[in-house]
Amino acid sequence: MKLNNKFQTIIGVCSALAAISIPVAAEPIASQNPARDAVQSVLQSPNSVLPSTTEIRGIAVQNGLATVNFNSALVTDFKGGDTDEAKGVNAILKALGKFPNVSKVQILVNGEHVDSLGGLLDISGPLPVIRETKWLAHRTLPAKSLRLAQR
């Protein structure tokens, strides 16, 4: 989400007159693809376990399914272990779970289905989104929806 930052000048008296600028509430700029922005924010997060070289090639939402197409760096540059793989996939599912019209996510690489990022989770088919609530902010993939990749 892009923001237009506005500043307001306040003149105050301390020991001398001074003019300072402080930010006021930022106004969001309407996005043409908020789902793409949500996934992009996952990739750009300083805490992201996904490769920094990963790019979104396309994203489409149809009939409750968000299909996200990444470049090959998502898999070829992924250096994490099982925990990082789960964190990365969960981050994508949580980002898209914020949209009520999305119930499942299909992850593609260069337009093709992939079995896994790092060998643990089976991401070859659609995965259910993770919806966060104020009561359940740290939910991970439910055990019944967790599929392990074939090794």
Q: What is the pLDDT along the chain (151 residues), one digit of tens a residue?
A: 444 444 444 444 444 445 544 444 444 456 789 999 999 999 999 999 999 999 999 999 999 999 999 999 999 999 999 999 999 999 999 999 999 999 999 999 999 999 999 898 999 999 999 998 765 555 555 555 556 666 5
CA dihedral for 5, 6, 9, 14, sign (positive or negative): negative
Within a 10 A sphere around the Cβ of 98, how many other Cβ atoms?
A: 14
The dihedrals phi and psi of 91, each to the nearest 5 degrees, come to -60, -40
Pick from 48, 43, 104: nearest CA to 71: 43
**Crossing angle of helices 82-97 and 34-44, rounded to 10°:** 150
Cut 0.95: pTM above it:
no
Q: Is 103:128 a contact under the CB 8 Å cutoff? A: yes
CA distance 62 to 106: 11
